[in-house]
């Protein structure tokens, strides 16, 4: 189910206060207009242009919205809040030079947003106006930021002015907070490398790499690896990244990275950070990532500033595309992912995300083609094989799905703990093919390798319950799954249905109502709830739920339409509880919950 478009670009963090924010949420926006003296006809044109911008804004076409807002301003609209919207939208879309023009106008009219300073700092730095860039940093008013991360920006501005001492002294303030130590050592190493002092750079990078408490991103490894290879330490960085990959085999980008390091030639390898603009881009990127997850619009703006300063920084482009995807701007996200070339260590991840974005757009064939092309470059990659299996299963191509899952198991290891998810998916594919014996075996294997993961417990237990076999084991497994994940809608539905099968209709109703709240578009849940309502005498509500099941979108292939139509017409006979050993079940349940 596609997510509805967000109505406005939210930039509400107090630190980034802007008059634009107040305007975006104002309902009676017409009253905010102050038009220059002009004939009525022109006024109507201004109003229409502004409304066109609002519509584009609501549809998340921010480039078009900015264009309409600019035209509205040119036609006579004088509104500080509108200026705020314009520079924020332009900056977020990467149109930084234009954003700087309107940011300056807003600044002259009293807008005190700190975002203006970052935009103008970046614009000045890109044009080699280093004094102006430094002046913008001094104008930022947020005290905690000024005392911690702001010196990071100033360090690279000093580097641009060829003042090594000031550059390095500036960033020492980051050492006051242990949370900023990884950023400090990374930028210390980059600065020394920029100034041509490899011994000092190595000292900083080795401090970062050697301390297990300091996190290191893939992009950080890319920078350090670039330095190590250029300075004759290729074997060390390859061994290090291989070690990281063995520790986290679910991060295939690490495999891509060490393979790239193995191919690189020190003599032909340029510095990644060979200009102060690129250094500042790294600083802005370090700060911008802090806003991801709770201020994505701010993070997106920072990503645009990073790419303005260094268009080759693929980590920022990946981050920008991820943020676009999270706001459901999927076509725009795909455009950004596609800009990451196949020479980048992030190409692999970008292609996986392109496929995922196509799936969210319900363009499965494009997703399938993307993954197949990626598999040609990585023919032994189990992650791609698994995703091709998942996509084949979604598309109803179950035999293809089985084939891809088996290839993934062959690469990953049939008895590897991480293979449980493949066995789980394989079991579902076999079941959809109608081969329950193979499905059951695969699901049992998944249960064993996963140490009884709740989703496997639930799926196998529910399947046994529906097939009228292993009643006691099925009930115990569903109860066990629910105890582990009581907020999971599918598991809650299974438990409600288990209680229904046991003849406990009143408790079944309570759980199935809860499941319907968790899964408000699920056909199976509505069908189950209708049955439970009928058994407790709530017959009108039962028919309503059955009708609801027929129109629901999720899991609609798992209901029997003809059976539901018959129930709506004729109702249900009184159900016969399943035969189960209550005492044995209670004894087993007490092993996971002594209070039962």
On average, the pLDDT of the chain sits at: 89
Q: What is the C-alpha separation between 321 and 350, in angstroms, rounded? A: 9
Each residue's pLDDT tens digit, 522-576: 999 999 999 999 999 999 999 999 999 999 999 999 999 999 999 999 999 999 9
Q: SS3 for 17?
A: coil
**Has residue 480 got a pLDDT over 70?**
yes
Q: What is the C-alpha separation between 260 and 345, in angstroms, rounded? A: 7
pLDDT score at 20: 32
pLDDT score at 38: 36
DSSP class of residue 578 equals P
**Has residue 43 got a pLDDT over 50?**
no
User: At the topology level of CATH, where does 14-137 sit?
Assistant: 1.25.40
- Buried-state track 155-192, b at ≥16 Cβ within 10 A, e below 16: bbbbbbeeebeebbebbebbeeeeebbbbbbbbbbbbb
Mean pLDDT for 253-265 is 89
**Has residue 80 got a pLDDT over 90?**
no
Q: SS3 for 222?
A: helix
User: At the topology level of CATH, where does 454-596 sit?
Assistant: 1.25.40
CB of 574 closer than 8 Å to CB of 535: yes
pLDDT score at 100: 97
Each residue's pLDDT tens digit, 172-221: 999 988 889 999 999 999 999 999 999 999 999 999 999 888 988 999 99
**Has residue 494 got a pLDDT over 80?**
yes
CATH class of 152-334: mainly alpha
pLDDT score at 185: 96
Q: Where does CATH 1.25.40.10 sit in the chain?
A: 14-137, 454-596
CB of 283 closer than 8 Å to CB of 152: yes
Beta bridge partners of 522: 554
Residue 77, φ and ψ in degrees, nearest 5: -70, 130
Choice among 23-32, 83-92, 327-336, 349-358 with the minimum mean pLDDT = 23-32
Each residue's pLDDT tens digit, 117-146: 999 999 999 999 999 999 999 998 777 677
């Amino acid at each position: 189910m596609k997510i509805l478009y967000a109505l406005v670009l939210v930039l509400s963090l107090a630190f980034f206060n802007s008059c634009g924010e107040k305007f975006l949420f104002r309902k009676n926006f017409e009253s905010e207009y102050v038009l220059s003296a002009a004939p009525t006809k022109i006024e109507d044109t201004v109003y229409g242009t502004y409304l066109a911008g609002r519509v584009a804004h609501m549809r998340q076409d921010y480039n078009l919205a900015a264009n309409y807002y600019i035209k509205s301003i040119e036609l006579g609209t004088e509104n500080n809040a509108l200026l705020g919207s314009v520079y924020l939208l332009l900056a977020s879309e990467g149109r930084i030079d234009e954003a700087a023009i309107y940011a300056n106008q807003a600044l002259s009219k009293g807008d005190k947003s700190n975002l203006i300073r970052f935009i103008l700092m970046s614009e000045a730095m890109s044009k080699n106006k280093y004094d102006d860039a430094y002046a913008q940093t001094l104008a930022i008013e947020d005290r905690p930021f000024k005392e911690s991360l702001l010196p990071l920006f100033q360090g690279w501005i000093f580097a641009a002015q060829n003042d090594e001492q000031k550059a390095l002294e500036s960033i020492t303030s980051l050492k006051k907070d242990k949370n900023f130590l990884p950023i400090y050592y990374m930028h210390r190493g980059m600065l020394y490398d920029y100034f041509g002092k490899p011994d000092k750079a190595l000292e900083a990078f080795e401090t970062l790499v050697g301390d297990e408490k300091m996190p290191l991103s893939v992009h950080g490894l890319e920078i350090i690896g670039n330095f190590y290879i250029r300075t004759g330490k290729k074997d060390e960085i390859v061994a290090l990244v291989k070690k990281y990959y063995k520790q986290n085999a679910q991060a295939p980008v690490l495999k891509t990275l060490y393979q790239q390091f193995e191919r690189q030639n020190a003599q032909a390898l340029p510095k990644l950070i060979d200009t102060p603009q690129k250094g500042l881009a790294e600083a802005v990127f370090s700060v911008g990532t802090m806003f991801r997850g709770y201020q994505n619009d701010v993070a997106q703006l920072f990503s645009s500033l990073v790419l303005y300063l260094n268009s080759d920084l693929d980590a920022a482009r990946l981050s920008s595309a991820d943020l676009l995807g999270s706001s459901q701007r999927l076509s725009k996200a795909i455009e950004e992912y596609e800009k990451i070339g196949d020479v980048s260590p992030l190409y692999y991840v970008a292609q996986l995300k392109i496929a995922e974005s196509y799936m969210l757009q319900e363009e499965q064939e494009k997703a399938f083609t993307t993954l197949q092309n990626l598999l040609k470059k990585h023919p032994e990659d189990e992650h791609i094989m698994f995703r091709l299996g998942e996509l084949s299963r979604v598309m109803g191509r179950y035999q293809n799905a089985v084939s891809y899952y088996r290839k993934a198991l062959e690469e990953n290891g049939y008895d590897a703990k991480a293979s449980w998810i493949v066995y789980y998916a394989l079991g579902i594919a076999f079941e959809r093919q109608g081969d329950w014996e193979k499905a059951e075996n695969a699901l049992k294997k998944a249960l064993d390798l996963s140490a009884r993961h709740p989703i496997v417990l639930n799926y196998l237990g529910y399947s046994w319950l529906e097939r009228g076999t292993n009643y006691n084991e099925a009930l115990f497994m569903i109860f066990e799954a629910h105890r582990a994940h009581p907020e999971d809608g599918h598991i809650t539905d299974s438990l409600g249905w288990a209680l229904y099968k046991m003849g406990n209709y009143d408790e079944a109703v309570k759980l199935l109502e809860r499941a319907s709240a968790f899964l408000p578009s699920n056909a199976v849940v509505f069908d189950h709830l209708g049955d439970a309502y009928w058994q407790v005498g709530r017959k009108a509500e039962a028919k309503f739920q059955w009708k609801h099941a027929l129109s629901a979108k999720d899991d609609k292939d798992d209901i029997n339409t003809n059976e539901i139509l018959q129930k709506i017409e004729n109702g249900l006979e009184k159900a016969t509880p399943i035969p189960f050993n209550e005492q044995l079940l209670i004894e087993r349940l007490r092993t996971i919950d002594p209070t039962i």
